[in-house]
Structure 1
C-alpha cells in the first residue's frame, strides 16, 4: 500500500523566519514557503527529497541529528560554514569527543555537528559523493 508513496520527513522549529534565513541564506539550500511552512528542497537519489519545516509554538529541539549533509571534504565544509557564522558543537570527555573545530575523528566517518536557530541538531559528514 505505501511502497509507492512519496514519503517525506519533517521537523519543527519555533521561528519560521529564522529557519528560512538559516537554511536558505546560511546553508544555501533551496527553500520555499507555503501556508506558513517551509519546504527544504534537498537532493536525493532519483531526484529531489523535500523536507517539511513547520512551526510549533511549544517546540523542543531534537536531541539527535535530524539531517546529515554528506560532503567530500569535511575540513573545507567546516571552514566554509564557520565563515558564514555556523558554530560547531564541541564535545569533550564523551565517546563522541570532537576536536577544537568540532570534528569527530575517533572512528567511523569524520562528522561535525551544529544546530539550526531552533537548536535542532544537523551534521556534515565526510562521505563519498554519488558514484
Structure 2
C-alpha cells in the first residue's frame, strides 16, 4: 500500500528558534523554514535525501528514544567536533562509556554516542 510513498518522519520541539540554530548551525544540516505562528515548521534535509519535519508543541515531551542516527566514518572525530560546538554527550547507566562518552560493543554498531537537541530529543552518532 505505501511501498512507493515518499514517507517522512517528524518530531516536536518546544522552541523553534533553538531547533533551527541547533540543526542548522551546530550540526550543519540544511534547514528550511515555512509557515508562521503555530503553523511554523522546519524541514531538515538529511544527506540521505530524506527530509525530517520539525514542528512546535507547547506541551512538548522529549523523545526518550533515539529519533535521528548519524552514521560517521570516524566517531572520535565526530564526538570531538560535537564537543567543540558545545554539545554534551549523554551517558546511560546501562552502558559502559569510554572517557569521551562513546559506547563500544561486540554487537550492533561498532561505536555509538548519544546527545540531545535543545528540546531534549535523543540523537546519536554511529560508527559501524
TM-score normalised by L of structure 1: 0.89
Once the 2 structures are TM-superposed, how far is the Cα of residue 106 of structure 1 from its aligned partner? 2.9
Give the whole-Å Cα distance in 1 for the aligned partners of 2:70 and 2:28: 12
Within the alignment, does 1:110 sit opposite 2:114 as a pair?
no
Superposition deviation, residue 99 in structure 1: 1.9
Q: CA deviation at 1:105?
A: 1.4
Runs of 4+ in structure 1 over 4 Å off: none
The SS at the match of 1:61 is: coil
CA contact (8 A) 1:90 1:101 kept: no
Cα offset, 1:107, TM superposition: 2.6
Q: Distance in 1 between matches of 2:6 and 2:63?
A: 24
How many residue pairs end up in the alignment?
122
- Give the gaps of 5 or more residues in structure 1: none
Q: Show the counterpart of 2:46.
A: 42
Instruction: Please tell me the root mean square deviation across aligned C-alpha atoms, in Å.
Output: 1.0
The gaps in structure 2 that reach 5 residues or longer are none
Partners of 2:42 and 2:96 lie apart in 1 by 33
1:87-116 deviation line (CA, Å, top 9, x unaligned): 001234x2x221221100133320000000
1:24 to 2:28 alignment:
no
Q: What SS is found at the alignment partner of 1:67? A: strand
Partner Cα separation in structure 1 for residue 112 and residue 41 of structure 2? 29
Task: Indicate conservation of the 8 Å contact 1:89/1:102, yes or no.
Answer: yes
Residue 105 of structure 2 is aligned to residue 101 of structure 1: no
The answer to whether residue 79 in structure 2 is matched with residue 78 in structure 1 is yes
